[in-house]
Structure 1
Amino acid sequence: MKMWKRMSAGVMAALLLALPVAEEAARASGGSAVNDLTGTKARQLAEVLVDNYGVTGVQYAIRDEGKVVLSGGLGVTESGSKTPVAKEAMFGIGSVSKMYVTAAAMMLADAGKINIDEPLTAYIPEFKMADERYKRITPRMLMNHSAGLYGSHYKNSMLLDDNDTGNHDQLLENLRSQRLKSDPGEYSVYANDGFQLLEILVERVSGMSYSEFLARHVGEPLQLTSTKTPLDEFDRGRLYPIRFPGIAGALPPENANVIGTGGVYSTAEELTLFAEVLTGEKPELLSAASASAMQQPEYRRGVWVKDKTNTFGYGLGWDSVDLAPFGDYGIKALTKGGDTLMYHSALIALPEEDVSIALLTSGGSSVYNTAAATNILLAYLKQKGDIAEILPAPTFSEPVKKDMPDRLRAYAGWYGTVGSTLRITVDDGEVKLPALMGLIPEQTYVYTGGDEFTGADGRTVISFDEQTNGHTYIRVKSHLEFPGLGQAVMAYYEYQKLADNPVTETVSKAWKERNGRTYYALDEKINSLFYLSPSVLTKKIELNEDGGYANGAKITNEDHAVNVAEIPVMNGRDAFDLEFFRKDGVEYLRAAGRTYVGEAAVKPIYGGDSSIVTIPAESGGARWFKIGGEAAGRTMTVDQPQHAGFVVYDAKGALVSFSAAGGSRTAVLPEDGLIVFGGRPGDVLKINMTAESK
């Protein structure tokens, strides 16, 4: 590529800084530092991630035919200085953990202990749901995301320095009252709960805890010293530090207590070693037949977009078994990305070449990691001579509008995804959509032929797809551009067309009274990372103009609304129903396994010099308060029990103070802000208020 002429001085400096890392990697692989384009590329992209994508630490490794040929890392301190990241530093790998539980299930299949196409109930007899179709769910459907589960139970799943197993222990009970959103096997949509069920499956069949199974059947044979779960004993000081804007110093260790779906810690080098299990290079652990089965295009068993090369093309466990742009070179590429709240990961494996790359970060996103890892891997393949040249990225131009067939006007109407509805007009050859995935800008799409509409950016195309299940979806295909990192191809369904849902006057009145009200979660532990942003722990009720849908859910009576969005993959993966109830004159909401209290019960915090807050003895959890004029501007100091704490937000929802994260028990209270106190049942927190010091 003609890259040198286009480089800024900053990028040139980054490349110069990369040379020591390139030399070290070249020595390890027996190559030449002068020709080590891969090491240079890796360091360059690590710099981009740190400088532009909110990343505070990067670690990467490439393994080729069993040998590590590149290993490095770059971090940034709180003061802003850059420093190497040791290869022994451990990161949370998020949903790449799904590959471990998938492999574990396939190991049991190799041993003849399970059949992945038999009903799950054969192995977990106590698994029941409020939907008779659950009896048809198989382990295969869990691994390829087609079981029809609503998605995720996140309550108390992401905790600071706390390996509470409550989320795991309560999953089967939580699922008992939940229905399915589709027929098992109908289509594949990301579902974290499926891999939690796989974790339970492994435990039931093997007779040991899942952490013990991983240690015995993966860790010990591969001699892994850095692949652990929150339930393992290991030096937490080895975890790469996590930081959050506005909180001084590193946060306590993050525990993703949903181990099967996202709780494993590892290093880039050990992750590439495990990749050899997944690609059939370790048949003593996982048979080549099972590894091959995991690589098949499972997503094509059901309803899905027609595009083959895609970030979303599920195998068993894998996010995609046809990752772009490797197919353009005749190379099969598998990928799995992972995100906790603070850690992010990408694993790409080329099974026919026996090459893999892992790129782990603190901060950022797995989407960015995958883009960076893709381009590092392409540089390595070129350096080896496996590909002659790196193909230029596609370019795009402003679309040329054509005359739209009148029949497409029929697609106008209400569309929904989980959490929201949208009225879409199809007129004069134009469709306007809001921002998509937080990555595609709000724009107007114009008709460009072939029943497709193209955005002003030229790189995003939408269409209205009528699928075999009777629903109409808005299909989106986009070449996402990440400046300095590269591109990613995504094709997926974003919105589902909604049928009219007329409701009675009585039902309409009940929901109109709730419209615009906010409900606050009561059962999240106060050391939960979800408190870093209150949006996860609050729900604001929003009706569509017709009054038949609330937060994308179909209203069925005065107190219930049920999810109808099925396939939308980005905003539809974690569906929920809305169920309201009243106790002692207070209205509550149940949704997605959590209980929320209405804003009418959230009172102003007492602004006097001293007061107490007691955590409810019957349930524990959280109590929310508003910050009124009497308390605004005062300095609050809290004397609290060991497991109690508080979080303060300003009027815009920005974090002001988080005792479990920063350790401070003092905060200046912002006007019109919020405070949430939490602890164990019966805990008493003593509050003192003083005037803000000048």
Structure 2
Amino acid sequence: MARAYPIYEARAKVSEILRRVTAAATVTTFFLASCGSRSSQPTYDAAIQEGKTAAQELINQGASAVAIALVDDKRIIWSQGFGLADRDTGQMPTHSTMFGVGSVSKMFATIAVMKLVDRGVVDLDTPLVTYLPAFRMASSGYENITVRMLLNHSSGFPGTDYRNADIRSPVPGYVDQVLQTLSMSRLKDPPGYMSVYCNDGFTITAALVEAMTGKSYVQLVQDEILTPLGMANTRYPLSAFSAGSYAKAYVNGAAKPQEFVNTLASGAVYSTADDMARIAMMLLGGGRVGTTRILSSASVADMAADQTIGSFDPIHNNSFAFGLGWDSVSQPGLAAVGFDGRAKGGDSNDYGAAIIVSPQAQLGIVVIAALGNGSARAIAIAERVLLRALYENGRIAAFPSPLPPVVPPVAPVPDGLLAAIAGEYAQGSLIVQLQAQPDGSLQASVRSDAGWTQSGPPLKYRDDGWFASDQDPLKAFKVVDADLLGVPTQYFLNRAPAGYGHYLNFGVFAQRVRPRPGNLSAAWQARLSSTWLVVNENPDELAWNGMDPRLRLAAVPNLDGLIAVRPPSDAPAPAAGHIDTRFHIVDASASDTVATMMLIIPQLNGRDLDDLDIVERDGAEWVRFGSYMHQPLASLPVLPRGATDVVTIGPEGYAEWRAVASDVTPVQVTITTTGAWHLYDPAFTSLANGKGSAVTSLPAGSGLAYMTLFGEPGQTIMLTVQ
């Protein structure tokens, strides 16, 4: 649908024609609004066209639906949807079609907490334990975590409790689960020392809000943010949504089940471009939209202060110059043309979103898409539209272009530099090796199951002090020295185009890791050949995405005392011919039963780390990694042909695993249960899954297959192998 206001009466007929044309291309116009006389008001025709072009490009890249809203502090200038909210029915997105906004949900958490600050109920710099006295962690120092640190990513928490976080069913107790997990976790670094992206900090703001108001977090957001702002199409996924109310995500052409992000305060919101535009307008208006005030202007200003100033940060990253809630209070795409900007991106498995506001420009934009982990592309679209609006109205002299790939001159390598920086570096899930080459270049390799594999062409030293390849000269690297809590350390930095591509973004890529004294102990050496299977993953998630349930350990050459952990993963395995580089590095040098997280990297690449604990259980060594528990594969009972097994789910509700032997003829397995089950082949590729009683079979000669059985504590399940 389209709405035209008096100023656009002349355009209304054209808009109607365009609407009919674009509807055939699955584009629906929601709003076109302005006020005053044409001659005295800015024009946005070119910005709107830029947005249409960019959105259609995103559809062509795989998004099933996209919605964009451009605003100033008083009105929605333009809002439009693209693609199909439901490919099966041909339904186009309307102004009420919801999308997941992922971590843009953190803005609601921040606004909720800042409302309590405005009322004097909460102080940002008061320790969290003052408001949540039962809060505990496994290491000292947690009592120094303040409310501010939850909102600026500097709490020192490990990162994210991914169990039950983003799945296909609601988990009402997720916040309590996170608090329980934190009670068993160490701090990654001293509270307030650095800011590194942390979902759990925002997740537990829900507990803070509930403790201080007596209302559930969702109800408070509804009563004090959504209802006053008229955000009638914004919801938390506490239950299944009605058909047609949200934009579906797709994989291999098939619609996915509804996504439930159970983190609530950290990433759960479903909303529309029009509703999220109200948040942008409120923030542009200093906490108010029209006569409705949500926050004080002081709180909005506090949210926009750079919280990373004075913290540990080897190089400033404008994309992660964290405010309170904001990812960036120095949005680099706008800073490149001399304007201020504040940005928040959001990702989930099914959606990507971005919101940017510029008080100086008095413009804001929301971009949301049914495209998994699409926030970077949403940010790029948002930048394009805002830049075009500024240029269209004469506020910048030229519309910027993406940076050209000019190869900078090669320079002589300073004496001793290559020897000083060659070695191993790591980030949250990647291990990198830099090797000096005879010609003075650097070769980067990444660790995989196949060993060290070269990554990209050689990097040559340039006259600006960075290393870059001839093939991709805008992407550059350098190593710097830093004082990390009194210990000299090296960090591997990167520089690359970001957003729309008209500026370079600087960041911390990885931290230098070195061998520990002595060799890996005999206890850890013995575990390197073992495999463990997850027992407390949500069965809905296992059934949907075919997660590889295995946890495995590996030594890392040149890094004695350290272990590379390959945890269970719901990410698709790399395509044939590509290597799998997903490893987490931990320090096993100080204990035979605990391998500790060891990286301290600000910004983004030091997020989501965990300790690995060996837990003695039923005479076997189980593994806890974060909040996931894993049973040793070697401890599984093997059911031969003709066996009947009555399985009882234990008091903790952990899944039960069984191995089933096949031979020269097919094997039939009868499952009698009301719970879920999952069957894997010997390589742990999913063969079948379901809920309730069933009969399934194994091909002849397939070797051992593995079955996981889910149920409530005390539930019995019968397996018969025929």
1:560 — aligned with what? 594
Would you say 1:574 and 2:611 are equivalent positions?
A: no
Distance change in 2, residues 1:450/1:659 (3 Å): same
Whether the 8 Å CA contact 2:427–2:511 is kept in 1: the answer is yes
Distance 1:359 1:320 in 2: 16
**Aligned-pair distance for 1:325?**
1.9
TM-score, length-scaled by structure 1: 0.85
Picking from 509, 513, 517, the partner of 1:502 is: 517
Q: Does the CA-based 8 Å contact 2:158-2:198 persist in structure 1?
A: yes
Q: CA deviation at 1:419?
A: 4.5
2:555 corresponds to: 543
1:398–1:515 Cα change, 3 Å: farther
Matched, 1:413 2:426: no
Secondary structure of residue in 2 paired with 1:116:
coil
Q: Closer, same or farther in 2 for the Cα pair 1:654/1:363, shift >3 Å?
A: farther
- Residue in structure 2 matched with residue 63 of structure 1 by the alignment: 71
Matched to 1:257, the amino acid is N
C-alpha distance in structure 2 between counterparts of 1:324 and 1:569, whole Å: 15
Q: Please list, as runs of the form range in 1=range in 2, the aligned pairs for 1:252-651 lying within 5 A after superposition.
A: 253-283=258-288, 284-307=293-316, 310-364=318-372, 365-408=374-417, 409-419=419-429, 421-428=431-438, 429-434=440-445, 442-456=456-470, 457-469=472-484, 470=487, 471-480=489-498, 489-503=504-518, 508-528=521-541, 532=545, 534-535=547-548, 537-545=549-557, 546-551=559-564, 552-555=585-588, 556-567=590-601, 569-602=603-636, 614=647, 616-624=649-657, 629-630=662-663, 640-641=673-674, 644-648=675-679
TM-aligned CA deviation for residue 257 of structure 1: 1.1
Q: 1:435 to 1:393 in 2, by over 3 A?
A: farther
Asked if 1:214 corresponds to 2:221, the answer is: yes
Q: Establish whether residue 47 from structure 1 lines up as the match of residue 56 from structure 2.
A: yes
Distance between the aligned counterparts of 1:298 and 1:209, measured in 2? 28
Aligned-partner SS, 1:368 = helix
Task: Say which SS state the counterpart of residue 260 (structure 1) adopts.
Answer: coil
- Kept in 2, the 8 Å contact 1:525–1:622? The answer is no
**Whole-Å separation in 2 of the counterparts to 1:179 and 1:61:** 42
Q: CA deviation at 1:406?
A: 2.5
- Matched position secondary structure for 2:555: coil
1:85-124 correspondence runs (5 A): 85-124=93-132
Per-residue deviation, residues 322-370 of structure 1 (Å, max 9, x unmatched) = 2222112211111111112222211111122332211112223211221
The equivalent of 2:6 in structure 1 is none
- Are the structure 2 counterparts of residues 80 and 239 from structure 1 closer, same or farther at C-alpha, using a change threshold of 3 Å? closer
- Once the two structures are superposed, residues 462-490 of structure 1 have per-residue CA deviations (whole angstroms, 9 ceiling, x without a partner) of 11122232322111111158xxx757754
Distance change >3 Å, CA 518–CA 390, structure 1 → 2: farther
Cα offset for 1:317? 0.9
Q: 1:263-296: per-residue Cα shift (whole Å, max 9, x none)?
A: 1111111111112333444342111111111111
Once residues 490 and 611 of structure 1 are traced to their aligned partners in structure 2, the CA distance between those partners, rounded to angstroms, is 61
* Aligned-partner Cα distance in 2 for 1:634–1:41: 59
Q: CA deviation at 1:213?
A: 0.8
Q: State the one-letter code of the partner of 1:467.
A: A
Q: Is the 8 A contact 2:425 2:432 kept in 1?
A: yes
1:464/1:687 CA distance change after superposition, 3 Å: same
Give the whole-Å Cα distance in 2 for the aligned partners of 1:97 and 1:256. Answer: 10
- Residues 509/487 of structure 1: CA separation in 2 closer, same or farther (3 Å cut): farther
Separation in 2, partners of 1:566, 1:15: 55
Moved more, 648-657 or 389-398: 648-657
Alignment of structure 1 residues 653-692 onto 2, 5 Å: 657=688, 659=690, 675-685=707-717
State whether residues 75 and 281 of structure 2, in contact with CA within 8 Å, keep that contact through their aligned partners in structure 1: no
Q: What CA deviation, in whole Å up to 9, does each residue of 1:544-580 have, x standing for no partner?
A: 1243101211112222211110116544200111111
Out of 189, 193, 200, which is 2:196 matched to? 189
Range 458-467 or range 649-658, more displaced: 649-658
Q: Against the structure 1 CA distance between its residues 105 and 25, is the aligned structure 2 distance closer, same or farther, given a 3 Å change threshold? A: closer
Shift of 1:22: 8.6
**8 A contact 2:73–2:285 mirrored in 1:** no
The alpha-carbon distance between structure 1 residues 600 and 288, as it changes in their structure 2 partners (threshold 3 A), is same
Would you say 1:245 and 2:252 are equivalent positions?
yes
CA distance in 2, matches of 1:19, 1:486: 31
CA deviation string 1:433-456 (max 9, x = no partner): 2479xxx96343221145421134
Q: 1:441 to 1:313 in 2, by over 3 A?
A: farther
- 8 Å contact from structure 1 (residues 344, 362) kept in 2: yes
SS of 1:156's partner is: coil
Q: Check whether the contact 1:129–1:176 (CA below 8 A) recurs between aligned residues.
A: yes
Task: Indicate if the aligned counterparts of 1:397 and 1:458 stay in contact, CA closer than 8 A.
Answer: yes
Query: How much has 1:383 moved relative to structure 2?
Result: 3.6
Inter-CA distance 273–24: structure 2 relative to 1 (3 Å threshold): same
Per-residue Cα deviation, 1:609-662 (whole angstroms, up to 9, x for no partner)? x96673523222334456765499778775541xx32345567766565547xx
Normalising by structure 2, report the TM-score.
Answer: 0.82
* In 2: Cα distance, 1:348 partner to 1:653 partner: 43
- The one-letter amino acid paired with 2:132 is I
In structure 2, C-alpha distance between the alignment counterparts of 1:669 and 1:487, rounded to whole Å:
55
**Match 1:165 to one of 165, 172, 185:** 172
Q: What displacement does 1:298 show?
A: 1.1
Aligned mates of 1:359, 1:654 — CA distance in 2 = 37
> Which of 205, 209, 214 matches 2:212?
205
Q: Which moved more, 1:415-424 or 1:632-641?
A: 632-641
- 8 Å CA contact 1:495–1:568 kept in 2: the answer is no
Q: Distance in 1 between matches of 2:669 and 2:76?
A: 53
Cα deviation digits, residues 27-75 of structure 1 (max 9, x gap)? 545899x9833333323222222222x3222122112232222222223
Kindly indicate whether the alpha-carbon contact (under 8 Å) linking 1:190 and 1:573 is maintained by their aligned counterparts in 2. Answer: yes
Aligned equivalents of 2:689, 2:34: Cα separation in 1: 46
SS in 2 for 1:325: helix
Amino acid in structure 2 at the alignment position of 1:160? R
Distance in structure 2 (CA, Å) of the matches to 1:591 and 1:398: 44
Unmatched segments (≥5 aa) in structure 2: 1-17, 448-453, 565-584
In structure 1, the partner of 2:11 is none
1:221-236 correspondence to structure 2 within 5 Å = 221-231=228-238, 235=242
Please state whether the residue corresponding to 2:63 is helix, strand or coil.
coil
Q: Distance in 2 between matches of 1:46 and 1:69?
A: 17
CA gap of 1:154–1:343, structure 2 versus 1, over 3 A, is same
Deviations 1:147-187 (A, max 9, x none): 1111111222223232x222211332322222211121111
For 1:305 and 1:314, locate their aligned partners in 2 and report how far apart those are by CA, in whole Å.
15
Q: Which amino acid aligns with 1:584?
A: D
